[in-house]
């Protein structure tokens, strides 16, 4: 009799255990993924349905519009909030989040689950995962590769009368610019011109003051002039680098582009304002993140054959401003295991391939290294090119202070006409030196 | 509940009270009972006003940052105060604040008093028009900020089209919130639109408090309307006008919402008033100690100026 009882109890336990392993049981579990509210986030919602189907873990999403994303999420982390189990945080947050214990260190988890960082593009691992920079300490899995690129009105560039006029004026074809000088010429050419009965403007560029906009735009020019944040031989020594002759020339150039060729009222414009200007047929060219290009290409009015894409033009060197993010597990989460399960699932090559097909920018070599990748989308080749020359802003724990200082100095000069480019960059060096002194790094 | 029932309830409560407690209550003075009743309010005030203030003062002498919970908090004396008071950017923000406060108060006082004077004439339908005039101040500043940001939009904004209608200028040839010269005035205009009715309301109360017999006496003495205005209306309404100036001055010194929504301190730092600088330091750069020191400086400034002003107001009242 006792034996029979033991068998019955054992069978019941086995039944319960097997039930627990099924998706039906896991359905009670839910994790929240926090990110910015933009096109790729919608693609991730779609992709994550596969995760729920496989694991039974429900996904909840908390998407915050870009202008408030940093404020909202950093507040959440600083207050040790439990809102997010997973966070696709900006690359610049990694230093602070690692040092302040906001993110779970993923090295052991990666080792245990056979996730290799060598499977991801090196630039993305460096930028989105490591702290201290370049060290094998991983705080995120590269999730969304991104860089600043350009989109242009291919249909306008193809108009025979405009082509002829441009060629006569500049002795070259009206084509996507290869340098910033060429870009300005094209922008000037279109500025104020009437096309299809509508007044159009040269270029929609970033000028936003509040969060990071103008810095992301200006660095696109600075990097092309060979900008360095500090002396490569002497870290944090910025004098003569941040305010070098080339940096001054690049900043002056960006201002001249803003003055000559942007739509009216373009004093505080970032991603959304650029998209609005471009989609409403006002701008011949638009600076924006690659993340928006799949959506733009699908746009009924200005997408498809109407538009083309090009990588950030070079000047002295070829380089692009880095965007994109890694996915991290928040230390304060009560569902760390489920969150890690999501990362394990997300790291799989098949999932990464689907991620790209839905409009997300995978950083996995299985996607980027595919010989057919450049042909998979009209912007794919430019994305690859851009990612090979990306440069990011400081990723220091004090990044917010460093960023705000640059926003102020650059906006003061470019938009508010305060002082000269040299003065703006000299002041920026002083601001940054002050921050690094407070940090004990100078 | 009737008296008998009440009495029985009180009696029952009294009997139910344990003897030692009853003895303590019986022994309480009226003053002690008064303290007992107001103590919840005092505790609440201490918790939400005084404690944060004291904590802010304490933080202002440290290097504390809210985003570095694990970092060591050091006492750094008056370093923050020194660096704030010697920072040209802080002084630029104070200048922007002073410009905003001065012009909004001046324009709102003149317009508010003029409107009050007009409404006080009690013309036909004055009640209706008073309500119409008061509408802007009933709106939420967030709504007003967003609404005017659209109006000021150079390509589609109604404001530019109205100006262009009267001046013949191209509507997209000027930017109210994007131009260094116009942006400070764009904010002054919106604040004036919103808060002049408030000044009007206070002035109206002042005008209506002047006894009619004084004007009748002046009429008997054949004083002209002009003379009546300068010798009766204005002096007697002055304490009310000064009160409106005090309220608007304090409010505008800490103005945040409208500026944040209209220009966010831009272009560049042109309209970066002190409260915007404070918000950037506290919640964007996370310099908690520094921003605490800045908040204290602002508090002391407003408190000091308001005290001087209240003394002047009392002098005027006692005349």
Q: How far is A254 from chain B (nearest CA, A)?
A: 15
Neighboring chain B residues of A397 at a CB cutoff of 8 Å: 68
B62 phi, psi to nearest 5 deg? -125, 170
In which band, very low, low, confident or very high, does the pLDDT at A12 lie, cut at 50, 70 and 90?
very low
- Give the helix ranges, DSSP H, for A301-348: 336-346
Using the predicted structure, report yes or no on whether residue A14 has a pLDDT greater than 50: no
In which band, very low, low, confident or very high, does the pLDDT at B282 lie, cut at 50, 70 and 90?
very high
Q: Tens digit of pLDDT for each residue in A305-336?
A: 999 999 999 999 999 999 999 999 999 999 99
- Residue numbers of A between 202 and 221 with CB closer than 8 Å to B: 209-210
Instruction: State the pLDDT at residue A232.
Output: 93
Using the predicted structure, report yes or no on whether residue B317 has a pLDDT greater than 90: no
Name the residue of chain A whose CA is nearest to B261's CA.
Answer: A210
In which band, very low, low, confident or very high, does the pLDDT at B199 lie, cut at 50, 70 and 90?
very high
- Residue numbers of A between 67 and 106 with CB closer than 8 Å to B: 71, 74-75, 77-78, 80, 96, 99-101
Other C-beta atoms within 10 Å of A158: how many?
Answer: 13
Strand, coil or helix: what is B33? helix
Neighboring chain B residues of A265 at a CB cutoff of 8 Å: 153-155, 172, 175, 178
Using the predicted structure, report yes or no on whether residue A4 has a pLDDT greater than 50: no
Across the interface, whether the CB atoms of A400 and B284 are under 8 A apart is answered yes
Q: What percent of chain A has pLDDT over 70?
A: 94
Instruction: Report ipTM (2 d.p.).
Output: 0.80
Tell me which of B3 and A38 has the higher pLDDT.
A38
Q: Are A384 and A83 in contact (CB under 8 A)?
A: no
In which band, very low, low, confident or very high, does the pLDDT at B3 lie, cut at 50, 70 and 90?
low
Region A65-71: mean pLDDT is 88
Instruction: State the pLDDT at residue B127.
Output: 86
Across the interface, whether the CB atoms of B172 and A264 are under 8 A apart is answered yes
| Sole residue written with tokens 């639109």 | B193
Across the interface, whether the CB atoms of B270 and A416 are under 8 A apart is answered yes
Using the predicted structure, report yes or no on whether residue A23 has a pLDDT greater than 60: no
In which band, very low, low, confident or very high, does the pLDDT at B4 lie, cut at 50, 70 and 90?
low
Across the interface, whether the CB atoms of A412 and B268 are under 8 A apart is answered yes
Q: How far is B73 from chain A (nearest CA, A)?
A: 13
| Sole residue written with tokens 């506290």 | B282
Region A162-191: mean pLDDT is 97
Cα A353 from Cα A370, distance rounded (Å): 10
Q: Is A265 on the interface with B (CB under 8 A)?
A: yes
Neighboring chain B residues of A416 at a CB cutoff of 8 Å: 180, 266-270
Using the predicted structure, report yes or no on whether residue A15 has a pLDDT greater than 50: no
- Picking from A294, A272, A253, the residue whose alpha carbon sits closest to that of residue A380 is A294
Neighboring chain A residues of B153 at a CB cutoff of 8 Å: 265
The full set of domains in chain A, from first to last, is: 11-146+324-391 (3.40.190.10), 148-321 (3.40.190.10)
Neighboring chain A residues of B154 at a CB cutoff of 8 Å: 264-265
Across the interface, whether the CB atoms of B267 and A80 are under 8 A apart is answered no
Q: Is A417 on the interface with B (CB under 8 A)?
A: yes
Region A123-151: mean pLDDT is 95
For B95-129, give one letter per residue: b (16+ CB within 10 A) or e: ebbebbbebbbebbbebbbebbbebbeeeeeeeee
Region A27-41: mean pLDDT is 90
Q: Which of B63, B264, B285 sits opposite A209 (nearest CB)?
A: B264
Other C-beta atoms within 10 Å of A347: how many?
Answer: 22
Name the residue of chain B whose CA is nearest to A398's CA.
Answer: B285
Instruction: State the pLDDT at residue A20.
Output: 45
Other C-beta atoms within 10 Å of A35: how many?
Answer: 24
Q: How far is A99 from chain B (nearest CA, A)?
A: 9
Q: Tens digit of pLDDT for each residue in A362-413?
A: 999 999 999 999 999 999 999 999 999 999 999 898 988 999 999 999 999 9
Across the interface, whether the CB atoms of A267 and B175 are under 8 A apart is answered yes
Cα A313 from Cα A318, distance rounded (Å): 7
Among chain B, residues having any CB pair with chain A shorter than 8 Å are 63, 66-70, 89, 153-155, 172-173, 175, 177-180, 263-270, 280, 283-287
Torsion of CA A340, A343, A347, A348, to 10 degrees: 70
Q: Which of A210, A397, A418 sits opposite B268 (nearest CB)?
A: A418
Name the residue of chain B whose CA is nearest to A74's CA.
Answer: B67
| Predicted TM-score of the model (pTM) | 0.85
In which band, very low, low, confident or very high, does the pLDDT at A16 lie, cut at 50, 70 and 90?
very low
Averaged pLDDT of chain B: 91
Using the predicted structure, report yes or no on whether residue B227 has a pLDDT greater than 70: yes
Cα A168 from Cα A162, distance rounded (Å): 10
Using the predicted structure, report yes or no on whether residue B289 has a pLDDT greater than 70: yes
Using the predicted structure, report yes or no on whether residue A74 has a pLDDT greater than 70: yes
Sign of CA dihedral B82, B87, B92, B96: negative
Cα A255 from Cα A269, distance rounded (Å): 14
Instruction: State the pLDDT at residue A7.
Output: 47
Instruction: State the pLDDT at residue A26.
Output: 52
- Tokens (6 digits) for B57: 């003062």
Q: Which of B155, B177, B283 sits opposite A264 (nearest CB)?
A: B155
Q: Which of B263, B264, B280 sits opposite A404 (nearest CB)?
A: B280
Using the predicted structure, report yes or no on whether residue B214 has a pLDDT greater than 70: yes
Q: Are A414 and B266 in contact (CB under 8 A)?
A: no
In which band, very low, low, confident or very high, does the pLDDT at B7 lie, cut at 50, 70 and 90?
low
Region B185-191: mean pLDDT is 97
Across the interface, whether the CB atoms of B180 and A266 are under 8 A apart is answered no
Q: Are A95 and A65 in contact (CB under 8 A)?
A: no
Residue B158 sits at the vertex; the CA angle it makes with B155 and B164, to the nearest 5 degrees, is 80
A332 phi, psi to nearest 5 deg? -90, 5
């Amino acid at each position: 009799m006792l034996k029979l009882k033991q068998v019955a109890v054992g069978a019941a336990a086995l039944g319960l255990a097997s039930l627990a392993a099924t998706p039906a049981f896991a359905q009670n579990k839910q994790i929240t993924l926090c990110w910015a509210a933009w096109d790729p986030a919608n693609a991730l919602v779609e992709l994550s349905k596969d995760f729920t189907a496989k694991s039974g873990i429900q996904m909840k999403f908390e998407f915050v519009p870009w202008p408030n994303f940093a404020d909202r999420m950093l507040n959440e982390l600083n207050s040790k909030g439990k809102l997010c189990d997973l966070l696709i945080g900006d690359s610049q947050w990694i230093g602070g989040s690692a040092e302040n214990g906001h993110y779970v260190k993923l090295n052991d988890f990666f080792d245990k689950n056979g996730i290799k960082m060598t499977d991801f593009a090196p630039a993305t691992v460096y930028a989105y995962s490591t702290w201290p920079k370049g060290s094998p300490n991983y705080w995120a899995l590269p999730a969304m590769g991104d860089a600043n690129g350009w989109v242009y009105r291919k249909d306008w560039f193809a108009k025979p009368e405009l082509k002829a006029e441009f060629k006569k004026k500049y002795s070259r074809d009206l084509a996507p610019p290869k340098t910033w000088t060429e870009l300005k010429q094209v922008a000037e050419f279109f500025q104020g011109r009437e096309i299809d009965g509508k007044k159009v403007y040269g270029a929609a560029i970033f000028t936003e003051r509040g969060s990071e906009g103008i810095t992301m735009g200006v660095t696109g020019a600075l990097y092309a002039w060979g900008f360095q944040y500090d002396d490569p031989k002497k870290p944090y020594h910025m004098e003569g680098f941040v305010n070098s002759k080339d940096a001054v020339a690049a900043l002056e150039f960006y201002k001249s582009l803003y003055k000559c060729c942007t739509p009216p009222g373009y004093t505080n414009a970032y991603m959304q304002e650029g998209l609005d200007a471009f989609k409403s047929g006002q701008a011949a060219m638009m600076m924006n993140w690659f993340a928006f290009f799949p959506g733009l290409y699908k746009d009924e009015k200005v997408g498809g054959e109407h538009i083309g894409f090009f990588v950030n033009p070079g000047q002295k060197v070829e380089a692009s401003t880095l965007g994109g993010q890694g996915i991290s597990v928040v230390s304060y989460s009560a569902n760390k295991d489920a969150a890690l399960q999501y990362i394990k699932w997300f790291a799989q090559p098949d999932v990464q391939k689907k991620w790209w097909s839905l409009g997300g920018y995978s950083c996995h070599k299985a996607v980027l290294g595919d010989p057919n990748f450049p042909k998979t989308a009209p912007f794919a080749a430019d994305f690859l090119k851009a990612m090979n020359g990306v440069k990011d802003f400081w990723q220091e724990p004090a990044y917010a202070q460093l960023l705000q200082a640059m926003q102020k100095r650059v906006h003061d000069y470019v938009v508010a006409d305060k002082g000269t480019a040299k003065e703006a960059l000299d002041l920026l060096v002083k601001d940054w030196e002050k921050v690094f002194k407070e940090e004990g790094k100078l | 509940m009737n008296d008998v029932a009440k009495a029985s309830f009180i009696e029952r409560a009294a009997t139910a009270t344990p003897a030692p407690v009853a003895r303590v209550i019986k022994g309480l003075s009226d003053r002690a009972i008064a303290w007992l009743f107001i103590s919840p309010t005092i505790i609440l005030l201490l918790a939400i006003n005084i404690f944060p203030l004291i904590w802010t003062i304490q933080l202002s002498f440290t290097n504390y940052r809210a985003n570095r919970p694990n970092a060591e908090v050091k006492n750094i004396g008056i370093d923050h105060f020194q660096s704030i008071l010697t920072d040209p950017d802080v002084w630029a923000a104070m200048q922007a604040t002073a410009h905003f406060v001065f012009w909004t108060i001046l324009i709102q006082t003149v317009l508010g008093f003029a409107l009050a004077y007009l409404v006080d004439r009690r013309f036909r339908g004055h009640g209706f028009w008073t309500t119409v005039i008061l509408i802007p101040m009933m709106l939420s500043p967030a709504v007003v900020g967003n609404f005017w940001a659209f109006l000021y939009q150079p390509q589609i904004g109604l404001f530019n089209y109205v100006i262009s209608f009267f001046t013949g200028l191209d509507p997209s040839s000027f930017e109210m919130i994007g131009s260094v010269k116009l942006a400070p005035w764009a904010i002054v205009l919106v604040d004036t639109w919103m808060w002049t009715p408030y000044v009007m309301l206070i002035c109206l109360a002042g005008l209506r408090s002047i006894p009619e017999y004084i004007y009748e006496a002046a009429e008997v003495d054949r004083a002209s309307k002009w003379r009546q205005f300068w010798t009766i209306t204005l002096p007697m309404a002055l304490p009310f006008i000064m009160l409106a100036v005090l309220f608007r001055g304090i409010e505008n010194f800490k103005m945040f919402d409208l500026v944040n929504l209209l220009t966010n301190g831009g272009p560049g730092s042109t309209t970066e008033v002190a409260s915007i600088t404070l918000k950037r330091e506290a919640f964007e750069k996370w310099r908690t100690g520094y921003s605490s020191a800045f908040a204290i400086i602002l508090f002391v400034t407003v408190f000091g100026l308001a005290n001087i002003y209240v003394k002047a107001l009392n002098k005027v009242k006692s005349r």
